[in-house]
Amino acid sequence: MAWSELKNLPEALLPWYEASKRDLPWRKTKEPYPVWLSEIMLQQTRVEAVKGYFHRFLQEIPDIAALANCDDEILHKLWEGLGYYSRVRNLKKAAQVIVNQHGGVFPREYAAVRALPGIGDYTAGAICSICYDLPTPAVDGNVLRVISRLTEDATPIDQPALKNRVREELAKVYSVRAGDFTQALMELGATVCGPNRKPDCEQCPCRNFCGGYLHGTAEQFPVRPEKKGRKQENMTVLILSCDGSYALRKRGNSGLLAGLWEFPHVPGKLETGDALAVLESMGLKPKDLRRQADKKHIFTHIQWNMRGYYLELSEPGGDFSWLTAEEIRQSAALPTAFRQFFDEI
């Protein structure tokens, strides 16, 4: 189908969205702060997982000024389990820019929004259209999937050329209800035309002009590049306890999981004797090996294969912070990779 068919989208999508949209908390406002927060949280994260985090975050940090001044430990704890922690660090950086350069008021111009730390074309487009009704498309994987099927465009979905063209073509057809149109496209791509399953074409409001439906090709689109294998990393995690406290250390301020807490660990999946030898080299005295557990954690491009040893020590030591289980629950942000060992304590 021709790209010119996109002109039919507003008339088809807006009534459907009004009747079918999900009841999501961030759709109850057009204030930029909660909309911005929701868009950042929803990156790489399921809607159902985000709802609770969204409420808790706003309760603790109700506005941009509070975000700009929030302690990093509190931020990380509020974000604990969501992953991709650079998102919350960029939220704070952007809040500080808004306070220092925009008088604490979220900017209304697309270029100023796009210039904020952690905000790309998609997020800037979403905020500006939803909050200010500007004709600024928000093109993510869901929207690319919808448009690829509508137009039967075989350009691989990871190609910038496709995203750029989709953004340009959509900008031409935006209606006066820009925010609703943006969210309708998102909704269609997340539900009826959703990922990793057969599209529900019979329920689609666009089926009368969708090339994928009319020609029976919907499941052939979008075209995806061949996936590369994840890098595999093996490690041994040491869950060290002494008199009810556990050894933690903080990761550096750059790189993967920067600034978060972790259990001590070393490269390789060590056998028991080798793990005990590592402890002795640290000057630590193990009293009891309580158990062993193998876990894995998948990042976008890396998989950690982890062997954990739960060890009771005769006395605390090493260059660690020793925290009780309650202190860890209350204030130490453990990334999911390490929290899965803590959850079994």
Q: What is the CATH number of the domain that holds 100?
A: 1.10.340.30
DSSP state of 63: S
Q: Is residue 290 part of a domain?
A: yes
Nearest by Cα to 167 from 187, 182, 183, 152: 182
What distance in Å separates the CA atoms of residue 82 and residue 43, rounded to the nearest whole number? 10
Residue 177 reports pLDDT greater than 80? yes
Specify whether 166 is located in the same domain as 244: no
Choose the final residue of a domain: 173, 189, 220.
220
Domain C-terminal end among 164, 192, 220: 220
Instruction: Give the pair of three-digit tokens for residue 152.
Output: 């039967």
Tell whether the model's pLDDT for residue 1 goes beyond 70.
no
> Which tokens belong to 87?
């998102």
- The answer to whether residue 19 sits within a structural domain is yes
Question: Which residue, 307, 306, 311, 294, is CA-closest to 247?
Answer: 311
Residues 23 and 72 in one domain: yes
CA atoms within 13 A on the CB side of 3: 13
Question: Do residues 251 and 193 share a domain?
Answer: no
Give residues with Cβ within 8 angstroms of 339, minimum separation 6: 80, 81
The pLDDT, as a whole number, for residue 82 is 94
> Does one domain contain both 208 and 279?
no
pLDDT at 229: 87
57 and 199 housed in the same domain: yes
∠ at Cα 61 (111, 45), nearest 5°?
Answer: 70
Residue 225 forms part of a structural domain: no
pLDDT in tens, 246-267: 999 999 988 889 999 999 999 9
What gap in Å lies between CA 12 and CA 184, rounded to an integer?
A: 10
Same domain flag for 68 and 167:
yes
Q: What is the CATH number of the domain that holds 315?
A: 3.90.79.10
Give the DSSP letter of residue 211: H
* 53: in domain: yes
Structure-block tokens of residue 261: 């807490």
Q: Kindly give, in sequence order, each residue whose CB lies less than 8 Å from that of residue 319, ignoring residues fewer than 6 positions away.
A: 249
Cβ–Cβ under 8 Å, residues 296 and 306: yes
Q: Which of 176, 195, 220 is the last residue of a domain?
A: 220
Asked if the model's pLDDT at residue 181 lies above 90, the reply is yes
Give the mean pLDDT of 109-118. Answer: 98
Query: Same structural domain for residues 244 and 167?
Result: no
Give pLDDT, residue 69: 98
Task: Please report, as a single letter, which amino acid is at residue 71.
Answer: D
236 and 293 housed in the same domain:
yes
Q: What is the mean pLDDT of the chain?
A: 96
Q: Report the percent of the chain where pLDDT is more than 70.
A: 100
Specify whether the CB–CB gap between 262 and 249 falls below 8 A: yes
Query: Which token pair is 203?
Result: 């329920």
Domain interval for residue 89? 3-220
Beta strands 302-313 and 261-262 are: unpaired
Please, what's the b/e burial string for 43-81 (b: 16 or more CB within 10 A of its CB; e: otherwise)? bebeeeebeebbeebbeebeebeebbebeeeebbbbbbe
Are 190 and 137 spatial neighbours (Cβ–Cβ below 8 Å)? no
| pLDDT, tens digit (0-9, with 9 covering 90-100), for 202-236 | 999 999 999 999 999 999 999 998 888 899 999 99
**Residue at 226 is within a domain:** no
Q: What is the pLDDT of residues 31-42, one digit of tens each?
A: 999 999 999 999
Give the range among 42-46, 117-121, 237-241, 323-327 with minimum mean pLDDT.
Answer: 42-46
Answer whether residue 102 is part of any domain.
Answer: yes
Q: Which amino acid is at 238?
A: L
SS3 171: helix
Do 244 and 186 lie in a common domain? no
Question: Does residue 146 sit in the same domain as residue 61?
Answer: yes
pLDDT of residue 57: 98
Helix (H) or strand (E) holding 235: strand 231-242
Bridge partners of residue 295, in order along the sequence: 306
The answer to pTM > 0.85 is yes
How confident is the model over 40-92, as pLDDT tens digits? 999 989 999 999 999 999 999 999 999 999 999 999 999 999 999 999 999 99
Residues known to be catalytic: 39
Residue 305 has pLDDT above 70, yes or no: yes
Question: How many independent structural domains does the chain possess?
Answer: 2
Same structural domain, 285 and 199: no
79 shares a domain with 171 = yes
Q: Are 99 and 68 in contact (CB under 8 A)?
A: yes
Q: Say whether the peptide bond before residue 199 is cis (omega within 30 degrees of 0).
A: no
pLDDT at 226: 83
